Amino acid sequence: MTDLKEKFSTIFFDADDTLWENERYFRAAEAKFIELLADYTSPEGVQDMLWRKQEDNIPLFGYGSKTYMIGMTDAALELCGGVLPEHIYYGVKKIITELAFHELDIIEGVKETLEALQGHYELIVATKGDLPEQMGKFRISGLAQYFHHCEVMENKDEKNWLEVAAKHNLRPEEILMIGNSVKSDIAPVVSLGGWAIHTPHEVVWVHEMMDMPENDRIIEVKNIREILGYLI
């Protein structure tokens, strides 16, 4: 087992689907949306339209629920020929409202893991998306007590990771990132010379899907509790 105990003083944690559940709520909303638009096209057609509208809106509005909700409205409008029937309008509104106000469920093992690491490392949340949305989730999560700081990036690319590292007086090779997204949490960090621990989640956002790169500085575990074997 790779021993990381003496290598790092700071650990970065992803938030969505690493500390708390997120994607499963979007998948539930997607399923309801597909059912709502069933009279207009196939399930695959609804899903494809929704994904394409999200792709269109990410450059404009960034990552987060806002982009998803706008994409859902745009998809419904196009599938309905430019005019939303009343039942579709209120159906979309209901789905969006439920998505916006869902409970925040902490992933099993997270609190115990953070408690074990606290005092041994400086812990920092490193997430991406809409700043008010992500900071709101961070505040209500009950996990703020374990962290020194919360970083919300527009995108977790190499440029933003370098800026975050510099802000915390770290060289790129001193980054240790823990998260579920290969695209955002793993690949850019190891490409800069840092280390990453992949904590998988059973549901992955389609826009985050990416093959795991081959790199000796990537550690894969089954759940977040297992990171303690490398760090404590």
Contact 54, 78 (CB under 8 A): no
The proportion of the chain whose per-residue pLDDT surpasses 90, expressed as a percent, equals 83
Question: Distance between CA 196 and CA 199 in Å, rounded?
Answer: 10
Whether residue 87 is predicted with pLDDT greater than 70 in this model: the reply is yes
The average pLDDT across 95-114 equals: 94
The answer on pLDDT for 227 being more than 90 is yes
Question: Where do the domains of the chain lie, and which CATH numbers do they carry?
Answer: 10-21+106-231 (3.40.50.1000), 23-100 (1.10.150.240)
**What would the mean pLDDT of 5-34 be, rounded to a whole number?**
95
- pLDDT score for 62: 82
pLDDT of residue 6: 82
**Full-model pTM:** 0.91
The average pLDDT across 74-92 equals 96
The model's pLDDT over 145-166, given as tens digits with 9 standing for 90+, comes to: 999 999 999 899 999 999 999 9
pLDDT score of 76: 97
pLDDT band at 84, cuts 50/70/90? very high
Position 217 scores a pLDDT of 96
Q: Is the pLDDT of residue 204 over 80?
A: no
